[in-house]
Structure 1
Amino acid sequence: MPISNITKANAAVSTLPLALSIGDPAGIGPEVILSAYHELKGLVQPFFVVGGFDVLRGCNEALPVPCKIIAIAEASEAQEAFNDGLPVLLGADASYTPGKPGDEGAALALHSLAEAVRAVLLGKASGVATAPVSKSQLAKVGFDFPGQTEFLASVCGLAPDDAVMMLAGPTLRTVPLTVHVALSAVAGLISPELIQHKAAIVDAALKRDFGIASPRLAISGLNPHSGENGQFGDEEVRVIEPAIEALKSKGIDAFGPVPGDALFTKIMRPQYDAALCMYHDQALIPIKALEFDQGVNVTLGLPIIRTSPDHGTAFDIAGTGKADANAMIAAIRMAGQMARARVRA
C-alpha cells in the first residue's frame, strides 16, 4: 500500500515501541542513536531503528559503544529484542561512510523516514523520532519538500499549514509561524488567519500531548519594539493585535505582541507555555542559545507523534566521537511522553 494512501484512522497511539529513522548515515545520526540506546535502555519504552543494519554495525565497530545490534523482521519483535540490544528492522541499507554523504545514504535516509512513519500509521509503533537529514542530499533522490515537517503533513493527508513546528527544551517552547522562507517575505505572509490557525493547533497540542490544561501562548512582535505604536512598522497594530483578540474571544489564553528582544528574558519565560514567533530565526535562536543540547523539534497537529533532535547532520564531526547524543535522547524521551499523554487523553 502506498504510504500516501494510509489514512489518519490508522494512526492509533498506544504503548507500542517507538520507530526511529536513521537520518543521513554519513552524519551523526547513527552514533547518537547508538549512544541513546546505551543511555536509555531500561528507562524508556522500547524503540527500534528502521533500516541501516550495516550502517549501525559499521558505526559501532568504528566508535565502540556498549551496544549489541539485533536484526528484526517485524516491528512486533522490538519489544522483546530491546532488552538485549538495539533492534533494527531489516530493509534498505548502505555503507558506513561518515562525513561523506552520497546518493546511497540519501536513499536510505528517505526509505527509513517513510517506513518509520508508515509503521506508526499502521499501528505498529506509537510514534517516530527522526535523526537529522540533509535536505540537499534528499533532493537528489526525489524528496520534493522543504523539510521533514512538510513531508509528514503530506503523508498524513494534511495541508502544509496544518503541521506546526515547535522547538522544545526543558524550560522553553517556541513556534515559528513562518519557517523556510526568505526574511523579506515574512511581513507579507503573516496574517491574522495564519496566527489564529497555528495558535489553535499549538493550544490543542499542548493540551493533548503535553498535559497542559490551560496553555498560555505568548505572541511575538515582528518589528523592533513591536513597532513602537506604528513608528517602526504597522504589522503589530494591523495584523498581530487583531489575531490575539480573536484568539482570546475563542477562549485561548494568548497575549502580546511581545517585543522579540524581551520575549526570552529570564523574567518573561515563566509567563508562557509556548512562544509563537513571526519567523524562523526569531524562534530557533533562543532555543539553540539556551538549550541546544536538549532541544527537540516536535511536529504538532499530526495524527501521529514525531520528534527530532534540533540539530543537523554535522557531517564535519561524524565518525570522530565528538557528537553529543543528548538532543536525540531528549527527542526519544519526549516522543514516549507524548504517546503516554495521548493514551491518557
Structure 2
Amino acid sequence: MPHKVLFLTLKVFGFTGGIEKVCRSICRSLYDLGEENIVEPTVYSMYDKYFDRDSRYLKKQQYHAFNEHRKYFVIKSLLKGIRSDVVILSHINLLSIGYLIKRFSPKTKVYLLAHGIEIWRKLPEPKLKALKRLDKIIAVSHFTAERIKSIHGTKEDKIEILNNCIDPFYFFPTKFSKPKPLLERYQLHPDQKILMSLSRVVSSEKYKGYDNTISILPHLIKKYPKLVYLIAGKSDDEEKLRLEKLITKHQIANHIKLIGFIDEAEITDHFLLSDIFVMPSKKEGFGIVFIEAMASGLSVIAGNKDGSVDALKNGELGKLVNPDDSSEIEKTLDELLKSPLNDNEKIALQKKVLKAFSYEKYRESIKKLIVYGTSYIMLL
C-alpha cells in the first residue's frame, strides 16, 4: 500500500522565495512518487489560494489551499495528520501542529525542514519540547545542522542533511549571449562587465554582503571603468534609503543600479546578463540562488561562513571568500573579471551543478525518507 504523506506548508505558489522553491521541489517529488504508487500525497498550504496551484507540481486533488484561514488549516491538518504515515513540516512555524499530531498519533512520523535563520534562534521551552518530539529534522546544509545541534542541543541521529536541488523545471540556457531587451532596459552595453546580487533588500537582512561589494566598487572601477553592479530583489524603504546614501558616499551612482523585484520568468536572463554573481553572505541557510546562477553558467562568489559552502560544494563550483574581508572579496572579483568563463567552461559548470544538485537525486532522497525513515540508506 502507498504511504500516506501529508506535507504542511505556509506558502508554495503564492511567493517565490527560497523556502517556497524548496516546497515546490518537494511537491513535485510527491507528485512523481504518487504516480509510482509509492505515496498517497496531500499538500495543505495555509496562505495560498486555490488558484495559485501550478499543475506542473501538484494535481488538483493533491492540493488544498486555505487562503489564510489559520484555524481551519490547523484543525484539518491535525485530523489529516493523525491518519497519515508521514507528515512533513515545511517551516518551524508549523511545529506546534506537528507536536499535536505526535501526541495523538505517536506512530506517525513527523519531519521538519530546517532552512536557516528561522531555526537558528533560541526557542521558548514549549517549542524546544516540540522540536525534541519530532522524528527527524531535515537540514538543508551542514552549517544549518551544526547550528541546530549547538543551539538546541539536538542529538546528531535526529538530524539529516539534505541539500536543496535545482527546480525540475528550471531552464538551462545553451547560449550565453547577454539578452538585448535587458541591455536596453538597464541602458547597458554588451562589452560592460556586470556584477549581480539577488536577495531580499530589507533592513532585517543586512548580512547578505552587498555592503562590502559596494565599498570595494570604487577600487574596481579604476581597473574596469565600465563596471556596473546590479542589486536585484524586492526592497523596503528603510534599506533602499540606506543603500542610496552608501552609493552617494562612495560616488558610484553611475556604476550601480537597484533594479528591484525580478519576475521568476526573467531570473535566468538576468544571470545571462551578468558576468559574476557576488553575494558573500554570513547567514545563508543554503542559497538556492547560487546553484541557479551556476546552472546558468555564471561565476559565483559566496561567503565561507554559512550554508553557501554546501551550495558551492566547498569551493568546487565557485569561489568562497571571507565575507568580512573586503580585500579578499576585491581580489577574487578582480581574478574573475580578468579571466571570464568561456562558453565551454560555462557548459562544464552547468553539468557539475546538475550532477551535484539534480532534482532526480533529491526526489530519491525524499522517497527514502518516506519509505525507510532516512535518506542515508544505500540501496543495492
Give the TM-score taking structure 2 as reference length. Answer: 0.29
Instruction: Say which structure, 1 or 2, has more relative contact order (CA 8 Å, 6+ apart).
Output: 1
- The structure that has the greater radius of gyration is 2
Structure-1-length-normalised TM-score: 0.31
Q: Would you tell me which structure has more helix in proportion to its own residues?
A: 2
